[in-house]
């Protein structure tokens, strides 16, 4: 999925639904994961900004993304 915006996710321990979503996003380089304890100290330095910007791929066709998401959901549902 491509939203043309970087995504930072705060990791919440013990949330199975979150774990599945986070894994999906991480596999596709679509999020930056931080722990709750890191939130207060989060600083947007050059290295972090570069990592966040690497999530954005201007060359991706939005229609292809929708198709890929539907295919993934159908596969997970056992179609």
Q: What pLDDT is attached to residue 58?
A: 58
Q: Is residue 3 part of a domain?
A: no
Q: Is residue 1 part of a domain?
A: no
Q: What pLDDT is attached to residue 51?
A: 81
Scanning 8-77, the segments in alpha helix (DSSP H) are: 16-27, 46-53, 62-77
Structural domain range at position 48: 8-77
Q: How many domains does the chain have?
A: 1
Q: Is residue 55 part of a domain?
A: yes
Q: Is residue 2 part of a domain?
A: no
Q: Is residue 20 part of a domain?
A: yes
Please write the tens of the pLDDT for every residue from 38-70: 888 888 888 888 887 777 765 555 667 677 778
Cα(63)–Cα(40) distance, integer angstroms: 37
**The model scores a pTM over 0.85:** no
């Amino acid at each position: 999925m491509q939203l043309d915006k970087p995504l930072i996710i705060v990791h919440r321990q013990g949330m199975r639904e979150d774990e599945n979503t986070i894994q999906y996003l991480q596999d596709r380089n679509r999020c930056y994961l931080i722990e709750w304890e890191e939130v207060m100290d989060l600083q947007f330095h050059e290295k972090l900004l570069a990592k966040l910007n690497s999530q954005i791929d201007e060359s991706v066709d939005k229609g292809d993304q929708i198709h890929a998401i539907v295919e993934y959901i159908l596969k997970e549902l056992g179609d």
